[in-house]
Amino acid sequence: MKNSSLKRDFSASIVVFLVALPLCMGVAIASGGTVIQGILAGVIGGIVVGLLSGSHVSVSGPAAGLIVIVETALKDMKTMDPVHYFSAFATAILLAGIIQLILGAIKLGVIADFIPVSVIKGMLAAIGIIMILKQLPHVLGYDGNPFGDEGFLQKDGHNTFSEIIVALQEVLPLTVIIGVLGIAIQVIWEMPAIKKYKFTQILPAPLLVVIFGVVLNELSKQFFPDLTVVGKHMVSVPVFSEMGNIIGASQGLLNTINWPDLSFITNALVLKTAAVIAIIASIESLLSLEAGDKIDPEKRVSPANRELFAQGVGNILAGIFGAMPVTAVIVRTSANVNGGAKTRMSAVIHGVWLLLFVLAFPMLINQIPNAALAAVLIFVGYKLAKPKLFKEQFKKGNTAFYPFVVTIIAILLTDLLIGITIGMILGFYYVIKSNFHKSFSIVKDDNNTLLRFHNQASFLNKSVLKEKLSQVQPNEFLLIDFSNCTFIDSDICDILSDFKVHAKNANIQLEMQFLNEKQERELSKLFQQS
């Protein structure tokens, strides 16, 4: 059984590696950092956070949700110190990790439990749709926007939709062929008739897509050189040494690192940046952790406070090695689940792949067309936003479907955190609205009305209670039953006290029923105080 799990994890790690590689690079570039800073964050997120996290499927690394924050912080720090601003930023990330350790220690991970499930599923679907829309230009041969940018407004002046229109005007035939056939390969690999064969587990579809893309592009050099994909349409990682020379490459890598400068530790801008990164990274990690648990086939529950601890250690190391900040990332987590991962070792191994290939085989990576990786990401996006998910949410009714849809639209048109916030507001609205109607019930029979309170009644029920009481007409009989009520706040007592006066003037016969004498005394006292 253990060997079977390890095989699944090994296979899944390849899938995650192929998804994480362009995202690590793209997020770093979009943030104003370097490719190496992004890859180092992926290595730390995979190996270190992967080992410390309590989640079996979550994968961490540099996240799109922090792009704007990191970009702004780097610009401000460059203005403050044009020479050492990367070191100042590294110090901020180190401090952010320490703050996350504190957040985990005081058990603030519990906030993840207050996010409605419909909003979490809306987030998953939105990210899936964004993945598809953002990768289409890469398949078409337009690479104006880096991988990993999930924001609606882009640095190249376009937005998610206008980018596709521009890409349609600059189509490269070979990238389209690589992308379309790459998606087709993954669809075929998912077919039950094909999936039953063992070779589909030994050779993951994303790896086959990449091999196919590389081979096709190499063949085009021989037979159709005018169609060959080159330059900005290819993956590009720094080459520190000749292929296989890990020692030389390691030395070259170390020379590029911007180590933290602790003299900035009391700098106001650095402290502010640390606090913002810690809070946003923690929220995004907890959101991704919840989402990961939802798509985990075994439905395991991950410890949120342990995740904050793991992320804290990860960001401390990210600061020490001058990398991008680290969070749990749902795209990589989804790829991990779809790849068949069974334990956290898949995340750890993917981190090893990132480090190994950048050090030993960077020239192999640089042979991969962007379109091949885009095809992999599009299929990951489809898995997150399957039509089945929309049907399931629709069947659950408006209270689940509306927050789900609004979350999707809000994330598509803004960004992850703003969209989640809007979705949560609508979700809480439905919770409050539901509470309006569950605190009491009304039964009317001719001129007789029964108003029965259930459990608790708070100020949230004021408007509905006023409306229902206004429907009781003069000369009618009203029985208010408090037998099942455990709490009534002063606002409700005020309304009932005012109604007692109104009932007397309108000739409404009012009677109150209590559970026992003790309850009658307590409520009568509240009415007198109102």
The string of pLDDT tens digits covering residues 460-502 is 778 778 888 888 999 999 999 988 887 887 788 888 888 888 8
Cβ count within 10 A of residue 341: 30
Quote the Cα angle for 129-132-138, to 5°: 150
Residue reference for tokens 């994303």: 206
Q: How confident is the model at residue 434 (pLDDT cuts 50, 70, 90)?
A: low
The rounded distance, in Å, linking the Cα atoms of 247 and 205 is 32
Instruction: Kindly report, residue by residue over 74-90, the tens digit of the pLDDT.
Output: 999 999 999 999 999 99
The rounded distance, in Å, linking the Cα atoms of 436 and 204 is 51
- Would the pLDDT of 530 be above 60? no
Report the pLDDT averaged over residues 398-419. Answer: 92
Question: 160-167 and 117-140 helices cross at what angle (nearest 10)?
Answer: 20
pLDDT score, position 501? 87
Residue 190's φ and ψ, nearest 5 degrees, are: -85, -10
| DSSP H or E segment with residue 373 | helix 370-384
Contacts of 506 (CB under 8 A, 6+ apart): 474
The rounded distance, in Å, linking the Cα atoms of 418 and 522 is 45
Q: What is the DSSP letter of 114?
A: G
Higher per-residue confidence, 351 vs 149: 351
- Would the pLDDT of 437 be above 70? no
Higher per-residue confidence, 522 vs 250: 250
The rounded distance, in Å, linking the Cα atoms of 241 and 218 is 23
- Would the pLDDT of 285 be above 70? yes
477-488 and 509-513 strand pairing: parallel
- Please state, rounded to an integer, the average pLDDT across all residues of the chain: 91
Tell me if 327 sits within 8 A of 63, measured CB to CB.
yes
| DSSP H or E segment with residue 16 | helix 2-31
Single-letter amino acid, residue 165: I
DSSP secondary structure string, 436-457?
HHHSEEEEEETTEEEEEEEEEE
Instruction: Kindly report, residue by residue over 120-167, the tens digit of the pLDDT.
Output: 999 999 999 999 999 999 999 999 999 988 889 888 889 999 999 999
- Would the pLDDT of 529 be above 80? no
Residue reference for tokens 């460059």: 78
* The pair of three-digit structure tokens given for residue 58, joined into one six-digit string: 């979550």
Domains of the chain, with CATH numbers?
Answer: 2-384 (no CATH), 439-529 (3.30.750.24)
pLDDT score, position 221? 94
Cβ count within 10 A of residue 470: 10
Strand partners, 349: none
Q: What is the pTM of this model?
A: 0.85
- Would the pLDDT of 351 be above 80? yes
Cβ count within 10 A of residue 70: 26
pLDDT score, position 453? 86
Report the pLDDT averaged over residues 23-34. Answer: 94
Tell me if 317 sits within 8 A of 299, measured CB to CB.
no
Cβ-count burial 219-257 (b if 16+ within 10 Å, e if not): ebeeeeeeebbeeebbbebeebbeeeeeeebeebbeeeb
Report the pLDDT averaged over residues 491-519. Answer: 86
| DSSP H or E segment with residue 491 | helix 490-505
